[in-house]
Amino acid sequence: MIVLRPCSVLMMVLLVFVSVPFDKIQHLGISVLISSSISALSNETVGFSAALIAGISKEILDCFGFGTPDFEDILANLLGSTIGVALSRDGEIIFIWEF
């Protein structure tokens, strides 16, 4: 069993100690959530692809005026997708969101 506490642990550690912009942490966290959930329900390729497609789609929307497009956001999505697939290999994931 894997317990994820992205807001209270991973995201805060990255934000405070590594000085990663909060926007990148959001991209990473959402990609972890999407890829691990879908990987656990389907397979790793589908989970990884779904998270990456979601992140790239968001950047495409940013290009049309819904935000600021940033290549580093795509890199954060790629990292989050990879972490999510790795976490899902256990096959049993419990998400505990603490805000």
Of the candidates 15, 88, 20, 91, which has an alpha carbon nearest to the alpha carbon of residue 50? 88
CA distance 25 to 73: 9
- Amino acid of residue 6: P
Domain limits, the chain? 2-95
Beta strand residue intervals within the chain, DSSP E: 2-4, 93-95
> Cβ distance 95 to 4 under 8 Å?
yes
pTM comes to 0.73
Q: With 80 as the cut, is the pLDDT of residue 24 above it?
A: yes
Structural tokens at position 85? 């697939």
65-88 pLDDT per residue, tens: 898 888 999 999 998 898 888 878
